Chains A and B, each alone.
Chain A
Amino acid sequence: MSREFRCSRCNSPLDVTPDTIVIVCRYCGQLNWIRKDLKFDVYITPTKSIEDARRILKHRIGGRRISRELLLYLPFYLVDVTCDVDYEGDFIVTVVKEKVRRRDGETIIETETRYIPVHVKGRLEGERSKIPVVARKGVGGSMIRHLGSHLIGSDIEPIEIKDFELDRKTSKSILGAELDSKEAIDIAIDEHLDNLRTYVKRLMEDEARAEASVYGTPTIVNTQRLRITPLNIEANTSPLTYYPIYVFNYGGRGEYKAYVTGWDLYPILLEEPMPIWSRLAWILGGILGSTALSTIFLFIASRIESVFQLLGAGVLFLIPAGYISFYSVKKALRPVRVESG
């Protein structure tokens, strides 16, 4: 249902959207706070001018014409998550050992396979990461991901939104915050712990492999029992902060997109035409990759006799060879190349 908002000074109608947190009246210039809950403890990062952003982009795109420009202020929380992880597990590691024997003046190589049970136990302390969470529901994609990564590495000094000089145009570029700090913290904890579980599982397998390596060369690690317990999880979030980003469409024959951050004018994502050399390079990579894997397969196939081993080698080398050719041709035929900062 649409709602009607009026200016607190002149009572003129305000063009309010669900994203509006503050709006400047087009008739009297009065600043009207629609989301009064966001007036305090909300920060905004001042942007450099669109002329500066255009100039930076022009360095990269040369004489191509900019056809569309848009400034957006996106709401983010930067959540600092720290935790310890206590882990233990039982693994069976397959190890292979080659024995060289001499019989009747002939060298015989014998392969011995053993299955070594390994128990791994340990604890990581203070595993920390800073996670950017965009305060919008169901929003995602490359731009959000790259902007988040860039925020983490940037030296930014946001100011309180109430101290920010808002004009009518700027107030319309601000996207409303749809998540509160608690929701952002839950999202960040989920992401941090999911990454950590994957990391710890790999770490445990590596430890099991290292322990079993005294018996031979480790090949396969089978998990028998696993416990990964996150402990002492602590998360703190920055205040809700708005970051400016310019969205440009540019081109001549065909149209491309570019995202430039507003505070440091960094092109985080830039589409460019696919040059012919890039297409050829991908095809060449496909040829070389497929050839290398086919050759390895042939080399192995000429030295084994069992049909099962032959099938195994086919799965290990021929299927990836086919995938490499498919991947490289798909890369070569893509419509644009995307450069990320």
Chain B
Amino acid sequence: MTGGDTQFKSITCPYCSAEYKVPKTVYYATCPYCGTTFKLDSPEEKIEHFLFKISYDESDAYRKAKSFAQLLVGAAKDLEFGASFKKAELYYLPIYIYEIRVEAYCEDLSDVDTSRGSKFISVGGGEDVKYYVVPAVENPPIPIPEDYLFPARMKEYFKPSILEKGMYLQPELNPMEYYEIYRSKSIGEAMEEAKISCPNSSISLKDESRYVGIHHYPFWDIIYQYRGGEYRAVVDGADGTIVYLEYPLDWSRGLPAALGLFLADISTGLLTWAASQIFQSYNPSISFLLGLISFAPGLTYGLTKLIGGKEIYRYRQSEEESFLPIR
């Protein structure tokens, strides 16, 4: 089964019998001829394998990244016309999906009826029901936030033709390792809840967790140029979310904002000094200094975003709506 290249091994598709090579590190392989995805050490075990549909093509993604950069404070003003496209690569990132469903019952008290559309439990214990979405490669070639969720968008069946369109990444990580981590975490939470629910009762566990399958998710990795420098943008191909963006800073746009923040810091110092005089609470110079220090975290954060030649924007799911755009 081992091919000539030590990094790869030859395998045979259990569905169409085609022979092809895959990296030795992968756990699941997708046949480039018929599209069947199967487990390498157990080829009869086929799994659910879908793709998210691309709604943003190369030029949409580049235009979106450029227009988004213009919303960032301190970014170069002439990016719209001053930036030029250099190259774009489409990555299909493999993602494992796990369904975790754990219920911990107060053993001698529980009575469950799971008839359709209705559920009645006389005494509950603890429970945890979640879906986990985890990148299936150890070091993704594109920077993807850890808490990234799927958008509600269309999916499609895996087609061998996509292998020609972009970088199709094979899942490298053992899906069962992550599965065990999440499963144990949820069991722990459910048991903890059950102990609070019935501290004096023994607890029984019902575990219906399972590994659901693989989805491949499209991301555009774009390089663009601006005044001799190169900048990178990673754009979600399904819903256009800007996941990662390097952008040039323009000191003439960032400087007024930076000066404004310095002014805000000094104002905090002066106001604290004035208040300490009114309440006769402390030494004036210490009060002023304390005011400056209390605004220092804001000033430091602002300066890191406004000063320098280049800044990086990163999407975080947890900051959606509060600090970042919606998806």
Contacts and interface: CB of A to CB of B under 8 A. Distances in A.
A122 to B, nearest CB: 15
Contacts of B246: none
A17 B129 contact: no
Q: Main SS of the interface on chain A?
A: mixed
A231 B157 CA distance: 44
Contact of B267 (A138, A182, A287): A287
Nearest to A302: B281
Interface string B261-284: 100100110011001100111100
B71 to A, nearest CB: 4
A324 B260 CA distance: 17
B216 to A, nearest CB: 12
B46 A291 contact: no
A228 B197 contact: yes
A144 interface: yes
B290 interface: yes
Nearest to B257: A333
A177 to B, nearest CB: 12
B197 A227 contact: yes
A237 interface: yes
A71 B169 CA distance: 31
A1 B157 contact: yes
Contact of A137 (B106, B131, B272): B131
B191 interface: no
Contacts of B279: 295, 298-299
A329 interface: yes
Contact of B268 (A18, A255, A287): A287
B183 interface: no
A50 to B, nearest CB: 17
A295 to B, nearest CB: 4
A249 B239 CA distance: 11
A323 B276 CA distance: 21
Contacts of A230: 121, 123-124, 197
Contact of A235 (B97, B118, B132): B118
A304 to B, nearest CB: 12
A293 interface: yes
B297 interface: yes
A83 interface: yes
A297 B264 contact: no
Interface residues of B, number: 96
A187 interface: yes
A257 B68 CA distance: 11
Contact of B124 (A193, A257, A322, A324): A193
Contact of B150 (A136, A233, A321): A136
A139 interface: yes
A290 B276 contact: no
A134 interface: yes
Contact of B97 (A137, A249, A253): A137
A321 B64 CA distance: 37
B235 to A, nearest CB: 12
Interface in A160-179: 175-176
Contact of A229 (B129, B197, B267): B197
Contacts of B46: 1
Given A1-B37, A141-B317, A287 B154 contact: no
Given A230-B121, A290-B295, A298-B279, 11 more contacts: A1-B36, A17-B156, A189-B129, A197-B193, A225-B199, A232-B120, A232-B121, A287-B264, A290-B291, A333-B305, A335-B72
15 contacts: A1-B15, A18-B50, A18-B156, A143-B326, A257-B326, A271-B325, A287-B267, A290-B291, A291-B272, A294-B287, A297-B290, A322-B293, A325-B299, A331-B322, A334-B323
